Amino acid sequence: MWENINNTLMRFRDSFRREAAFKWFVIVIVGLMVRSDHLGVTSIVRELAINPKHYESIIHFYRSTSWKLSKLIKTWVGIVCTSGLLYRVHGNPLLIGDGVSQAKEGRKMPGVKKLAQESENSSKPRYIRVARNPMVICSAQ
């Protein structure tokens, strides 16, 4: 299993201009895979037993200019489309998603959009920020 994960992560290497950013990417992805709670970067640091002095380095990774989200998405789509694991209907990939909106706290986050609150409760904020669910389209093979 780890060999497969390593091979998949190595396919992202060309998406990063700097080696250090790629290494932090691998650490973050593995940390997200093994964490037992959902407390963000703190979970990654705790689960991988990373020295807490590197917390700021992980935070900096998210703001780094050595990678672009669009390039990571393109690489991921390529990996998924060539994996042979997609379920296809009439040659087209079948994508299943849910409509769950989960509020986000930050103000500037890639892949997050601002939506009007649907609740009638006046104690809730007028707007919430939720993760975008990008449509991934693979060409028919």
pLDDT at res. 2: 86
pLDDT at res. 40: 85
Q: Would the CA dihedral through 36, 68, 24, 29 be positive or negative?
A: positive
pLDDT at res. 141: 46
pLDDT at res. 90: 86
* E strand segments, 2-132: 88-89, 92-93, 103-104, 112-116, 127-131
Count other Cβ atoms within 10 Å, centred on residue 45: 20
pLDDT at res. 118: 67
pLDDT at res. 38: 84
Tens-digit pLDDT string for the chain (141 aa)? 889 999 999 999 999 999 999 999 999 999 999 988 888 899 999 999 999 999 999 999 999 999 999 999 999 988 888 887 778 888 887 766 655 555 556 566 666 666 666 666 666 666 666 655 555 556 544
Residue owning tokens 């990654």:
44
